[in-house]
Amino acid sequence: PGPSVYEAEDATITAGLVESNHAGFTGRGFVNYDNAVGSAVEWTVNAATAGPADVVLRYANGTTANRPMNIALNGTVVSSGLTFPGTGNWDTWQTKTVRVNLVAGSNKIKATATTSDGGPNMDKLTVG
Ligand code: GCU
């Protein structure tokens, strides 16, 4: 099977808004994280079998400042302060990849901003 795509706008959003005012997103839009520590997007990802998987986060950051986030799998931070550097402008999207050990069935993957700038704009998460 091909990769599974999980749009950020369909995920559980803590302190953020679904917007579509910058080009290049997939689906209906992207999540604009509030500019605050703790703003977050949590996806529910299904895995047919347990094991390692590459999780790809597609984002834009139109500033020149990194917008680090903690990436948690099923409640445990697996990547602390993962960097989301500037992408040049808000219409330019790049990816960051994290390898995680999924359990079979339902998994929660949460990306939480760790600075008062909040997270970058988040388009989607792709697994596999
Ligand atoms: C701008 C931009 C937003 C972005 C925000 C930010 O307002 O238009 O899409 O989310 O900056 O700094 O987070």
| pLDDT, tens digit, 9 for 90 and up, residues 12-44 | 999 999 999 999 999 999 999 999 999 999 999
Q: What is the pLDDT of residue 34?
A: 98
The residue among 114, 7, 18, 9 whose CA lies nearest residue 67 is 114
Q: How far is the CA of 71 from the centre of ligand 1 (A)?
A: 21
Pocket lining: 112 vs ligand 1, CB cutoff 6 Å: no
Pocket lining: 96 vs ligand 1, CB cutoff 6 Å: no
Pocket lining: 22 vs ligand 1, CB cutoff 6 Å: yes
The Cα–Cα gap between 56 and 43 comes to 12
Tokens encoding 22 = 């910058």
Q: Report residue 11 CA to chain centroid gap.
A: 10
Pocket lining: 115 vs ligand 1, CB cutoff 6 Å: no
The Cα–Cα gap between 52 and 60 comes to 26
Quickly tell me which residue has 């604009």 as its tokens: 32
pLDDT beyond 70 at 1:
no
First to last CA, the chain: 9
Q: What is the mean pLDDT of the chain?
A: 97
pTM for this structure? Answer: 0.97
pLDDT beyond 70 at 102:
yes
